[in-house]
Structure 1
Amino acid sequence: MANETEVTTQNPDILLDAELDAAALEAALPSLAEKLGVLAGELTVDERAVLSSIVTSASEHLQELQKGNEEALFVFAKPISAAATPEIRNRLIGLPGELGFGEK
C-alpha cells in the first residue's frame, strides 16, 4: 500500500475530502460565496462568462437532482460531497443569483 505522501501526490484532494464534513461545508459556504463574488467582479467578460457557466450548470444540475423530492438522499462517490445536505444544495442552487449571474 502506498504511503500517505504518495497518495496525496497522486490525488491532492484526497485529504481534503476525508477531512470535510457537512457542518464544515455549510460553515464555509458564506465566505466562499463572498470570495467568489469579489473574484467575479475582477474577471474579464470572457472569464466571468466561464465562471457563470460553471456555477449556473452546477445549480441547474442540483435542481434536476432534487426535483420532486426536496429531502432526497444522494449517494456520492467521494466521502463527502459539496451537495451533501439539503442546506448545502439549496445554497448552491441559489449561488448564481447571489453572484449576479443571470438566469438562462
Structure 2
Amino acid sequence: MTNGTDVTTQNPDILLDAELDAAALEAALPTLAEKLAVLAGDLSTDERAVLSSIVTSASLNLQELQKGNEEALFVFAKPISAAATPEIRSRLIGLPNELGLVED
C-alpha cells in the first residue's frame, strides 16, 4: 500500500507477476509451447510471419544475452521474467524450432 492506495488496483499485473516463480514458469512452458504450435498452425501466412518474427527475435536476443555465460542471472524490471532461469532461457531459445517457425 502506498498512501493508503492498494497498488494492485493501479496495476493488476503486479499481483500476477508476484505469484509467478521460476518453477511455475518452467512447468507451464511445455503446455504453452503446445498451444502456440496449434495456434501457429491456424494462422494466415501474414499472421504466422508476425508470430515467427516475434518468437525468433526473442530467441536471438536471449542467445546474445547468455553468450559465454549459460548460468547468468539477469535482472529484470518485473519481479519474475519468462527468462528467469537457464532452463527457461534454453526452452525459449529453441521455441522457434519447436513451433516450426524456422527452416532447418
**TM more than 0.5:** yes
2:29 corresponding residue in structure 1: 29
2:46 corresponding residue in structure 1: 46
| CA–CA separation in structure 2 for the residues paired with 1:30 and 1:85 | 15
| AA partner of residue 69 (structure 2) | N
| CA–CA separation in structure 1 for the residues paired with 2:92 and 2:12 | 24
How many percent of aligned residue pairs carry the same amino acid? 83
Aligned residue pair count: 100
1:55 corresponding residue in structure 2: 55
Q: How much is the aligned-residue C-alpha RMSD, in angstroms?
A: 1.2
Q: CA deviation at 1:52?
A: 0.4
| AA partner of residue 97 (structure 1) | N
Q: Secondary structure at the match of 1:100?
A: coil
| CA–CA separation in structure 1 for the residues paired with 2:12 and 2:8 | 9
Q: CA deviation at 1:4?
A: 5.2
| AA partner of residue 42 (structure 2) | E
Name stretches of at least 5 consecutive residues in structure 1 with no aligned partner: none
Q: Which runs of 4+ in 1 moved over 4 A?
A: none
TM-score normalized by structure 1? 0.90
1:14 corresponding residue in structure 2: 14
Q: CA deviation at 1:14?
A: 1.6
**Alignment deviations for residues 1-38 of structure 1 (CA, whole Å, 9 cap, x no partner):** 3225622xxx3322211110000000000000000000
Q: CA deviation at 1:102?
A: 1.2
1:66 corresponding residue in structure 2: 66
Contact 2:8–2:15 (CA<8 Å) still a contact in 1? Answer: no
**Alignment deviations for residues 50-90 of structure 1 (CA, whole Å, 9 cap, x no partner):** 00000000000000000011111111111000000000000
Name stretches of at least 5 consecutive residues in structure 2 with no aligned partner: none
1:3 corresponding residue in structure 2: 6
| CA–CA separation in structure 2 for the residues paired with 1:6 and 1:60 | 35
